[in-house]
Amino acid sequence: MKRNALWSLMAGLGLLAAASAQAQISGNVVKIGVMNDMSGLYADIGGPGSVVAAKMAVEDYLKATKSSLKVEVVSADHQNKPDVGSSIARKWYETDGVDMIADVPTSSVALAVNQVTKDMGKAFVNTGAASSDLTGKDCSPNTVHWLYDTWMLAHGTGSAVVKAGGDSWFFLTADYAFGHALERDTSEVVKAAGGKVLGSVKVPLGTADFSSFLLQAQSSKAKIVGLANAGGDTINSIKQAAEFGIVKGGQKLAGLLVFLPDIHGLGLNTAQGLNITEAFYWDLNDGTRAWSKRFAALHGGKYPSSDHAGVYAGVLHYLKAVDAAKTDDGAKVVAKMKELPTDDTLFGKGTVRADGRKIHPVYLFEVKKPSESKAPYDYYKVVQTIPAEQAFRPLNEGNCPLVAKK
């Protein structure tokens, strides 16, 4: 009798829960915070463009699904400083009702936001940061890593360069979490392929003059100068390498993380021939072209970087998961994101793995010669498509505790 009463009570609670499912959205609004470098050396890769992409995703999602969700997008500048990033995240979660943070380039900041998000039980869809630790030793049940990572870059560009005969390397490494991870992952690829790493130099973030470091790379006599940096740092190092005759002297540059806006800033004269690994390029198919034209119209004519595409697709999938899970509770939504297959016009069909890694095909591009480019932003040609299963670190090799438990 007692047990029956208990059962009916539980059933009643279950009904109640189902009836109030719609009300499980905190504050009745799903609030998405786009956090990135709005004004510094990474601002063209993410920056205000990521806000545009997030808003497009919200609009498209609500229009396509007629969902009753109320969604708001806010944004902030983390200035590439982990302390600034984690205090914005804390304030957003604690007092501003933000449910999910998107983008967050700069691995050191991303790792900090990753921790805060986990502590507060919210959701984090990272597209901008590179460190493969986000789905490795620092993986979290509240984080999805969407776009790319250092493992992917190392195995894309790194293997291609080694295969082409570049078997001795010297690294110019950005001196923080991202650069260290990228150098580590690339060195492993180089060594596994029988190559040698002759040395590396750790360069402070945002250094304007690379000549001293380039000279060190030159005297190392390495065949390949690996640029384990990003954004303005990569641009300056490529530009000054040309000036100091690095390429003319027989050494080759390997830009390990290069985005479309970087190529736009460098100009094809300087950038031609570079190998680049990216998961998105505007000119891949009709879907990406149509979306990119819409994006450019909203973003002052600037074409999207892969980060912008990642923010769009990540937000789209997040909203889908919120509706499916009928809650905006961080861990539950992220679990739902892993459960549902992903499908969007920019990355095609894919999945989010148990460690939070989003899986999709990745492309090895070569930068066109000025004579091959027909219009502004017509910069890449596809050299090779790396299938989704091969593009990212195998699930069991990342030492992610979420995976080890299984």
Which residues of the shown chain bind other proteins in the complex (CB under 8 A)? 39-44, 47, 175, 201-204, 206-209, 211-213, 215-216, 218-219, 231-232, 235-236, 239-240, 243-245, 249, 261-262, 264-267, 269-270, 302
Minimum CB separation of residue 223 from other proteins in Å reads: 17
Nearer to other proteins by Cβ, of 201 and 340: the residue is: 201
Distance of alpha carbon 391 from alpha carbon 155, whole angstroms: 7
Nearer to other proteins by Cβ, of 90 and 202: the residue is: 202
Contact between residue 128 and residue 110 where contact means Cβ atoms under 8 Å apart: yes
Of 79, 105, 76, 73, the residue nearest 89 (C-alpha)? 76
Minimum CB separation of residue 47 from other proteins in Å reads: 7
Nearer to other proteins by Cβ, of 121 and 267: the residue is: 267
Q: What angle do CA 169, 172, 177 make, to 5 degrees?
A: 115
Nearer to other proteins by Cβ, of 174 and 224: the residue is: 174
Which amino acid is located at 27 in the chain? G
Distance of alpha carbon 325 from alpha carbon 247, whole angstroms: 54
**216, two tokens:** 């060190």
Evaluated on CA atoms 36, 41, 43, 44, the torsion sign reads: negative
Of 113, 218, 134, the residue nearest 172 (C-alpha)? 218
Minimum CB separation of residue 392 from other proteins in Å reads: 27
Minimum CB separation of residue 352 from other proteins in Å reads: 30
Minimum CB separation of residue 385 from other proteins in Å reads: 27
State the residue for tokens 């990569």: 234
Angle between helices 306-325 and 286-298 (to 10 degrees): 100
Nearer to other proteins by Cβ, of 43 and 56: the residue is: 43
Minimum CB separation of residue 209 from other proteins in Å reads: 5
Nearer to other proteins by Cβ, of 88 and 260: the residue is: 260
Instruction: List, edge to edge, every strand of the sheet that includes 71-77.
Output: 71-77, 30-36, 100-103, 123-126, 143-145
| Residue 255 main-chain phi, psi, to 5 deg | -80, 110
Distance of alpha carbon 283 from alpha carbon 288, whole angstroms: 6
Nearer to other proteins by Cβ, of 172 and 391: the residue is: 172
Residues 242-251 as b or e (16 or more Cβ within 10 Å = b): beeebeeeeb
Minimum CB separation of residue 106 from other proteins in Å reads: 14
**200, two tokens:** 């590396």
Minimum CB separation of residue 270 from other proteins in Å reads: 7
Nearer to other proteins by Cβ, of 209 and 397: the residue is: 209
What is the phi-psi region of residue 75: left when phi exceeds 0, alpha when psi lies from -120 to 50, beta otherwise?
beta
Minimum CB separation of residue 244 from other proteins in Å reads: 6
Nearer to other proteins by Cβ, of 138 and 262: the residue is: 262
- 261's CB contacts (< 8 A; 6+ apart) are 44, 45, 302, 305
**187, two tokens:** 């060195």
Q: What angle do CA 257, 262, 264 make, to 5 degrees?
A: 145
Nearer to other proteins by Cβ, of 264 and 336: the residue is: 264
Minimum CB separation of residue 300 from other proteins in Å reads: 8
